[in-house]
Amino acid sequence: MTDILEAAIVPALDDASPLARLFAMVSELDTYTDAEQREDAEIAAAHHVYNQYGATIGQVLDGEDWTGRIAVKDNRLEASAVAWLEGGLWLHHTLDISEADGARDVLTLIAPCACGSGYIDFQLENEEDLLEILTDLRRTGGRVPHQNDDDCASIPAQK
C-alpha cells in the first residue's frame, strides 16, 4: 500500500524556466511591505480624486494630504487612504475588489454626527453627490443633523 503522506519528489527547476520565473514573481509579491501598501493606497486615492473630483476635492487636496493604511487580510479589507478635511470631516478611499466587477474606486465622506456620539459616512458616486452633501453640511457647520437622540444612526466614536 502506498503512503499518501509521503513527500512528493520535486524536480529541480531551471532558473530560466517559466515555472521558476512564476515562482519568483510570487516570492516578490510576498515581500510587498507595509510602506509600499500605504504608498500605493495614497497614490490610488490622489489619482482617483484628481481624475473624478477635479473641480472640487482635486482643487484642495494634494497627494501628500493622504495617509495610507495597510490591508487587513483577516477582515478582508483592502489597503486604503484617508485625508483630514478639518472640522471632524474625513475622506476615505479604498478599492472594492471583486471577481465579478474587478477593482472599483470607493470614496467615502465621513462627517461627525450633530449629537457628538459618532460619525455618519456617505459613499460618493460623483462630484454632484459630494456637492449636494456639502451643501447640506454647510448649513450645520459640518455636522450631520437628526431629529432627536433616539434618531441617531451614527457609528460610535472611539473613546
Residue 38 bridge partners (DSSP): none
Query: What mean pLDDT comes out for the span 98-117?
Result: 87
| pLDDT for residue 10 is more than 60 | no
- pTM (2 d.p.): 0.74
| pLDDT for residue 149 is more than 60 | no
| pLDDT for residue 151 is more than 90 | no
Cell numbers representing residue 84 in the block: 483630514
| Contact call for residues 37 and 70 (beta carbons, < 8 A) | yes
Q: What is the pLDDT of residues 112-131, one digit of tens each?
A: 988 887 888 999 999 999 99
Q: Is 46 helix (H, G, I), strand (E, B) or coil?
A: helix
Cell numbers representing residue 45 in the block: 486615492
Q: CA-CA distance, 16 to 39, in Å (whole number)?
A: 32
Query: What mean pLDDT comes out for the span 26-51?
Result: 86
Phi, psi of 92 (to 5 degrees): -125, 130
pLDDT score recorded for residue 89: 94
Q: What is the mean pLDDT of the chain?
A: 84
Q: What is the pLDDT of residues 65-95, one digit of tens each?
A: 999 999 887 767 889 999 999 989 999 999 9
Q: CA-CA distance, 106 to 45, in Å (whole number)?
A: 9
| Contact call for residues 105 and 52 (beta carbons, < 8 A) | yes
pLDDT score recorded for residue 148: 60
